[in-house]
Structure formats: C-alpha cells, structure tokens
Structure 1
Amino acid sequence: MASTSSSFITLVSFLFFLHLSCLFNNLNAKHILTKNHNHQHQHTKNPSSNPRLYRAFLALQAWKRVIYSDPNNFTTNWIGPSVCTYHGVYCAPSIDDPEVTIVAGIDLNFGDIAGFLPNELGLLSDLALLHLNSNRFCGIVPITFNNLTLLYELDLSNNRFVGPFPFVALSLPSLKYLDIRYNEFEGPLPPQLFNKSFDAIFVNNNRFSGSIPSNLGQTKVSVLVFANNKLGGCLPESIVNFADTLEELVLINTSISGCLPQQVGSLYKLRVFDVSFNQIVGPIPYSLAGLSHLEQLNLAHNEMSGIVPSAVCELPSLANFTFSYNFFCEEEGICQNLTSKRIAFDDRRNCLPEKPLQRSTKECNAILEHPVDCFELCCPEDGGFGTNVTAGSVAIPTASIPAAMPVSAPFLAPSYP
C-alpha cells in the first residue's frame, strides 16, 4: 500500500513538473515571437513613430528608383527605413522639437551618380543642406522643392540640369547659398534673383543670355560669379549697392560691353575683380584707386585704352594685375616696374611703346585715333555698343573668345562649407 502511494505521488509530481515545463516553454516562445514581431515592426513602415523620417524614407526610395548609375556605390545601402544610416544622409534633432530626429542634410558630392530629381524630394521638408556637386543628374529642378522651406544651401553644380533658371530656388525663404554653375541652364537671369538675401551666388558656366539685370546689387552677397555666360549689355551702375558686402565679382567671358562704371570703385571690400574676355572699352576708372583690399585685378582681353594709372598699381593689397590684350598706351609711375612691388602682372599685347610683345602700330592707331568718351556712351539694355562707341572701337572677333573660358582656381570651389 505504501509502495502504491509512493508511486502515485511520484507520478503526480512528474506531471506537475511536466506541466510547468510546457507552460514555461510556451511563455518563452511567446516572448520570442513578440520580441521578433516588435523588432520587425520597428524597422518596417511605421509612420506613427516618426512621420518625418518616414516621409524622408519615401522620398529617398523614390529617388533611388530613378538613379540609373552609381559607380561609387553611394546609394548601395539605401535599403530599409533606417534613413539615418544611409550614405550621404545626415540626421539631426529637429529645430521645433529636439526630441524628434529629422533628415537635415544630404551630401552626394563627387558621386558621379546619373539620374534625375523626382517630385517626391519635396517630402524632405526638414532639409537644410543639399549638396549634389559633380554628378550626372539631369532634367529640371522639380517645383516641389518649394516645400523645402528650411533649405539654407543648395549646390547643384557640375551636373546636367537643363531648362530656364530654376525659379523654385527664389521661393525658398531660408536659402543663402546658391550654386548652379556648370550646368545647361539657359535664358535670362531673373531680376528677382537680386532681390533675395543670398550670401553667395554662382551661376557661371551655363547658357544664360540677355543682359545683367539692372537691379543688380539689391541682394547683399559677398561672392557673385557670372563667368562664361552670354549676358551682354553693360555692368549696371547699381553695382554700387554691393558696397558693404561684395568681396568677389567674376564676369569672365560674359559678353559685357561699354565702359566700367565709376561705381565699381565704391566696392571697398572687393578682393577679386575679374572682367577678362569681354568687349569693355574706355579707360580704367580712377575710382579703382579706392579699393584698398583688392588682391586680384584682371582686365585682360578687352578693348580698353588710355593710361594705366599709378594709383591702381599702388593699391596696398594688390598681388596680381593682368591687363594684357587691350590698347593701353601708357603706364604711369610704378606701373612700369610692378616687379619691384612683387606684383604678378601681364601687360602683353597693348600699345606700350617701350615694352616687348606689344601690338603693331597699325592695330594701335585704329583704336587710339578714336578715343571713347564714357560720359556719352550709349549702352542699350539688350547689350552691344551704342552709336557713340561703335564708330570709335573695334569689336573683338567672336572666334578669338573661347566658348567657355575656365574660371580660375579660386572659383572652382566655394570658400564655404
């Protein structure tokens, strides 16, 4: 009897522990499944956890679908909704709520990526920086960019964008830095461009045409590069409005004509002034003697004439003065020996009687016998010379001007982050 009772107790105990074991295993399995489900749910489409990152995910996936070539594998890891781990994508706390993470910047510079910009990029409404320098993006800039109200820097340079000036950039209230150089944009530059509070504008090496807008100077930029476009017309006197801010003005090969306005001498912060490869006539304005910060002055390949004033050659910061391929007939004072001031210079192909490598007497007489009176110069807004200048000047043959003069090294990359 005692043996039977003992066997019964043993059986009950075994069943009890078996039940506990099964219960434990079931609970453990449920915990693992729940954990895996939550982990999977966390990394799949979950707009409720962070709707702003989810919108960024949708935008970047739409962009990846229209990227046709990515030889450097910049976008290879653009997989899944963890956008903050994507190459070239930078996240940060939101301005309006530091507890919320947002996509604040995208930098795909030098990616050599081919594709275009889809409308879905307008979903990146938290974006402050967009840098796409040196790729093969083509097409037009989508109008949905007008949703990027926090965008501070837009760099689309060295791509294959086409169409008119991207007006959508003018609708961005926070934009301070605009770089669209080395593309295929065409048509006129909109006057509205110079009503915006930009810090730097690079529009060089496109196909822009027409004249420089007469409201030039309403914006307070420090760097303005127009080079290698066919703008024509004269440099507007409104350039004086840049006096308090402008440090670099580059107008290489822009087909501008007429005389340089005296107002250029009011740009007292100017360090770089380059108007080479144009059809500028007349003398060097004496007002340039007031540019005490000027380091580089390039007047080469124009039709300027008269005297090279000593006051310009004596500028305290001047390091490089190029005035070759003009019709200057005299160098005043120290201008005859700029080497003594350790100033790099080029005075070839002028009409300087005692200097080597000058123009022929016949070439010089054709210009010098008909001096230009800048006070009577007519400069129509549609570009070209006025009637008072045509009779006394010789236009540079189109063939002598390169289709796209390279912008010198300081302007190949902006001095901004």
Structure 2
Amino acid sequence: MAFIMEKLNIAMLLILVYQQILLSSSKELYQGHQERDEAAENKHKELFKGSSSKPTTPSDKDALEEFYHSTAGPAWLQNAGWLSGDPCQSMWYGIRCTPSGDVVEITLSHNGLAGQLPPKLSEMKNLQILRLYDNYISGILPISMFTIQSLIVLDLDQNQLSGNLPSVISLPYLTNLSLASNQIDGFMPYSWNCPNLQSVSVSSNNMIGPLPSSLSKLPKLKYLDLSDNIFTGPFPPEISALTSLETLLFQRNRGSSGVAPTIPESWHTLVNLKNFQVDGLSGDLPDIFDSWSKLEVLKVTFGQLTGEIPMSLCNLKSLQTLVISNNMITGTLPSCICKLSSTTMTSIDLSSNHLTGHLPDCFGSLHNLTDLTLASNNFSGNLPASLGACSHLNSLYLAYNRFTGSIPYTYAKLELKTLEIQGNKLSTVDDGLEQFFTGISFCSLYDNPWSCPLPTYLSNNTNCNPTCSKCNSLDKHTSCKACVSSSECGWCTEGPNCLEGTNQGPTYEYNCEPSNWIYGIEAACNK
C-alpha cells in the first residue's frame, strides 16, 4: 500500500510541476502548433529525461497497443519501437513516461494516423498530454476522454472526428483544449469546471446554438476561437468576467436563427484583449475602446453595424490592424484616426460602409501603414496628398467613391504594388508620376471621367486600363465645339470634361447625378 501511495504522490507531483511549466508559457498555447509543440516538448523532455527505469504499467501498455491497432499503426509515418519491447523502457516513438512507468504523453501529430480512438485510451489515468492533431482520425469523439482527470493538453485539431462534446467538462488541470477542424456538432458544454483552462479552440466544426454564459467560469482563459460553426447570438454579458482573455475569434458562423449579436457594454472589463475578430454584429459599436487599450487586431465584418465610428477607437495606441468592413457605418472618418500609433498601425479597412465626407489629410503620421482600403463608400473631395508620406504603403483601395480632382504628385515616392481607384470622378493626373505608375503591379483606373489626352506612359499602361470618353476632346466643354454639336455628349457642372450622355443624364452614373448634368445639344455655348 505504501508503494502504491508513493507512486500516486509522484504522479500527482509531476502533474503539478508540468502544469506550472505550461502555465508559465501561455503564449505557446496559441501562436501556432509548431512553436507551441517545440517549446512544450523540449520542457517535457527535460522534465522526464531518463525516465524509463521501470516498465510501463500493464493497463497503459494494453491501451497503447489497442491504440496502435485501431489507428493503422503499421502505416504511420513514424512508428519506431512500437510493439517492440516495453513502451517506456524502449522509448516508443511519441511516448513519454514517468520514472515509475506511467505514460504521461502521447504526441503523434501529422503522423498519418487513421481509424478511431479506442475507449481504452481513457483508462490511462495519468495521461497529461494527448496531442494528435493533423491526422485522419475519424469516428465519434469518445466522451470518456473527458474523464481523464490528469489531462493538461487535449489537442485533436484537424482530424475527422464527429459527435458531441459532453454537457459538463470537469478537468482540474486542463490548460489547452483544441478540437478545431473536425466534424463535431451539438452544443457547447453548459458547465465548465476547468479552473486552469487557458485556450479553447473549436473552430471549423458544425457546433450550434448560443454561447453558454458558463464560459465565464473559466478565470484563466486567454484564447477562445469559435469561428466557422453555426453558433448564434446574443453574446452573454457574463463573458465580461473573462478578464484574462486576450483573443476572441467569432467569424464565419452560419447560424440562420437567433438574434444578431451585439457587443455588450459590460465587455469593457476585457482589459487584456489583444485580438478581437467577430462577424455578423448588429447595433452600434459601443464606446468602450478606452478600456481595450491593449488591442492589436480589431476585425468586425459582414454585419449590420450602424452608427458612427466611436472616438474612443482613436485611443488604441497598440492597434496594428483595423477592419470594420461590410457593415452600415455612417458619418465621416474622424481625423483622430491619424493619431493611431505611427509605429504599430499597418492596415486599415473600412470598405463597404456608408461613410461620407472628405478624408482627413493627415495620413502621413501613419509611417508604417502598408494597406489602406476605403472602397465602396461615399467619400468625396480630393485624394489625400498626405498619403505620399506613407513610405511603406503597398496597397491603396479607394474604388467606388466620389473622389474628384487629380492623383496628387506627392504619390511619386510611393512604391505601391496595387492601386484601385476606379469608379470615382477623378479627371487629371499630376505631373511627375511616371515612375510611380511604372512600379505598380496591378492598377485599376477605369470609370473615371479622365481629361484627355492622358500622359502616354499612362494611356499605354495595360495594367491600369484608363479610359476616356469619346466625347472628350482637347478642349474643355467651355469651348463648346464637341459638346454642343453632338446628341451623345454633355458635361457635369462640377467638372470640366465633355462626357457621354443623353437628355436623361450621363451615360455612366459615376460621372455625376442627373441633376448636375448639362446636355450639350440643349445648352447655350458658354465661351
């Protein structure tokens, strides 16, 4: 009896020690499998170095042998040592043990496993790490897996597992639960007793229903990925209790019923949030960003968000990526947007909203901006000359707005790879931009009333495809000749060019509104 108690005490001590190692390196839990595994395995190797002095416990050995046969062991990419000698003493590939012969880790990721997980696997009462991601394991996810009280890491990502999660998960040492990219359906557990759980990923499954408020009972949770399922809203206000949360991903959920979620005002308590990516939101963006001062990535897309951009968003000094696209945001772009960090901000996407007004001409302060996407809004006025100071800018998407005037000469020093400004009311190109256009890989300038002739370097640029109206002569419409002598021409009151149209308005809607159209053949010559 004393020997048995000593053995149990050693096993539990090792669990606690290894748990602390994992807890002290939480970043490894959600920066990609490779980084996480290498770091965790190195620590685990050090912890159990030379730990094969005693033979494997019989129940663990039986479970491993059944696991080998049920997952097509002979066809694994690596199966060195398996079924030869003792698992712990012979160091079967992917297996780690305690000095007393208990199997504590099975790591056989991207190793060609196929078949089903045997129920006997759950009889390995001292198993701490089960890492089998990126294989071809199929069948029902055994509920009994969630009875292994010693589990610290359960990572079965990228397999073909189906079935439901248990309604209650009670694993006191669990820090990482990864079940992404399977075929799991049903609801999230309604009860969690996992006080050390830091990372939960169930993305890319077929899970349904609203999110349970019981998620708020995970005090150490830092990473929560619920993307690509069939979840519905609303979001539980109780999530505000997850004050350690750093990443929340809720994208591409396909739930057709239920209430479109809003961001609860109570979530201002998520003060450690760094990465927030959510689709399908409704209502206004709450003015809580002063509390989310650590936020680095904000993506809220494909929803029904209304109202204006809250001013508190401009106070996110750590923000790197801002995406509020495909919503119904109104108002103007606040000039304080240029007060975002000049060192961290790299990407802004506010496309496909209802934003209006002139752009603030202050973008030069965002020195490291690489991508700016403001397409499909109702912005007007001139293109901001200050963008010419964004020396790292690679992509500029301003298509389908109401910009007028010219492409500024300040863009001459930019090294853009992509420029899309089609569907505006731009008419001229400033001098000195030949080198600028030469370096662009993809350029789209059509659907603008360009004054002709365009510079040769531009009119011959097949990448850019600028087009001129057939009505556009070397003379402006004030010279009358072409515009008033043809039944196919006229001009817009806000521009100088003779353009195609009829007595109903311009041929191309992007030129101007019919109310601002002058049909040339009906107009008096204004010399």
Q: TM-score range by the shorter chain?
A: 0.5 to 0.7
Q: Do the aligned partners of residues 325 and 147 (structure 1) sit closer, same or farther apart at CA in structure 2, a change above 3 Å counting?
A: closer
Contact kept in structure 1, 2:167 and 2:191, CA below 8 Å: no
Q: Deviations over 1:243-287 (max 9, x none)?
A: 2x11111111234713211122210010011113x2x11211101
Alignment of 1:58-69 (within 5 A): 58-68=62-72
Any idea what SS the aligned residue of 2:235 has? Answer: coil
Measure how far apart 1:57 and its partner are.
1.5
Alignment of 1:153-172 (within 5 A): 153-166=153-166, 170-172=169-171
Please give the root-mean-square deviation of Cα atoms over the aligned residues, in Å: 2.5
CA–CA distance in 1 between the matches of 2:274 and 2:223?
10
Q: Does 1:319 align with 2:320?
A: yes
Q: 1:271 aligns with which of 270, 274, 278?
A: 274
| Equivalent AA in structure 2 for residue 192 of structure 1 | S
Measure how far apart 1:143 and its partner are.
4.2
* Equivalent position of 1:306 in the other structure: 307
Contact kept in structure 2, 1:70 and 1:113, CA below 8 Å: no
Any idea what SS the aligned residue of 1:122 has? Answer: helix
Q: Does 1:258 align with 2:270?
A: no
Q: 2:352 aligns with which of 346, 349, 352?
A: 349
Measure how far apart 1:87 and its partner are.
0.7
Q: Do the aligned partners of residues 194 and 284 (structure 1) sit closer, same or farther apart at CA in structure 2, a change above 3 Å counting?
A: farther
State the TM-score, normalized to the length of structure 1.
0.67
State the TM-score, normalized to the length of structure 2.
0.54
Higher strand share: 2
Q: Deviations over 1:262-314 (max 9, x none)?
A: 122210010011113x2x11211101222111100001211111111232122
Q: Do the aligned partners of residues 101 and 76 (structure 1) sit closer, same or farther apart at CA in structure 2, a change above 3 Å counting?
A: closer
In structure 1, list runs of 5 or more residues that go unmatched: 1-48, 94-99, 362-417
| Equivalent AA in structure 2 for residue 119 of structure 1 | P
Q: Do the aligned partners of residues 182 and 238 (structure 1) sit closer, same or farther apart at CA in structure 2, a change above 3 Å counting?
A: same
| Equivalent AA in structure 1 for residue 376 of structure 2 | Q
Q: Does 1:116 align with 2:116?
A: yes
Q: Do the aligned partners of residues 70 and 312 (structure 1) sit closer, same or farther apart at CA in structure 2, a change above 3 Å counting?
A: farther
Q: Does 1:83 align with 2:75?
A: no
* Equivalent position of 2:376 in the other structure: 358
| Equivalent AA in structure 2 for residue 198 of structure 1 | L
Measure how far apart 1:68 and its partner are.
2.9
Q: Does 1:57 align with 2:57?
A: no
Return structure 1 stretches of 4+ with deviation > 4 angstroms: 49-52, 69-72, 194-197, 336-341
Measure how far apart 1:197 and its partner are.
4.2
Answer with 267-276 or 79-88: which moved more. 79-88
Contact kept in structure 1, 2:262 and 2:283, CA below 8 Å: yes
CA–CA distance in 1 between the matches of 2:104 and 2:180?
24
Contact kept in structure 2, 1:338 and 1:345, CA below 8 Å: no
Higher helix share: 1
| Equivalent AA in structure 1 for residue 246 of structure 2 | E
Measure how far apart 1:232 and its partner are.
0.5
Count of aligned pairs between the two proteins: 303
Measure how far apart 1:69 and its partner are.
6.5
Any idea what SS the aligned residue of 2:72 has? Answer: strand
Q: Deviations over 1:173-196 (max 9, x none)?
A: 322211111111101112113765
CA–CA distance in 2 between the matches of 1:92 and 1:268?
40
Measure how far apart 1:115 and its partner are.
1.4
CA–CA distance in 1 between the matches of 2:240 and 2:57?
46
| Equivalent AA in structure 1 for residue 265 of structure 2 | Q
In structure 2, list runs of 5 or more residues that go unmatched: 1-52, 360-373, 380-527
Q: Do the aligned partners of residues 297 and 183 (structure 1) sit closer, same or farther apart at CA in structure 2, a change above 3 Å counting?
A: same
CA–CA distance in 2 between the matches of 1:232 and 1:145?
27
Q: Do the aligned partners of residues 260 and 178 (structure 1) sit closer, same or farther apart at CA in structure 2, a change above 3 Å counting?
A: same
Contact kept in structure 2, 1:194 and 1:216, CA below 8 Å: no
Query: Percent of pairs identical after alignment?
Result: 26
Contact kept in structure 2, 1:53 and 1:83, CA below 8 Å: no
Alignment of 1:97-246 (within 5 A): 100-145=100-145, 148-166=148-166, 170-193=169-192, 197-220=196-219, 221-243=221-243, 245-246=244-245
Q: Do the aligned partners of residues 199 and 329 (structure 1) sit closer, same or farther apart at CA in structure 2, a change above 3 Å counting?
A: same
Measure how far apart 1:128 and its partner are.
0.9
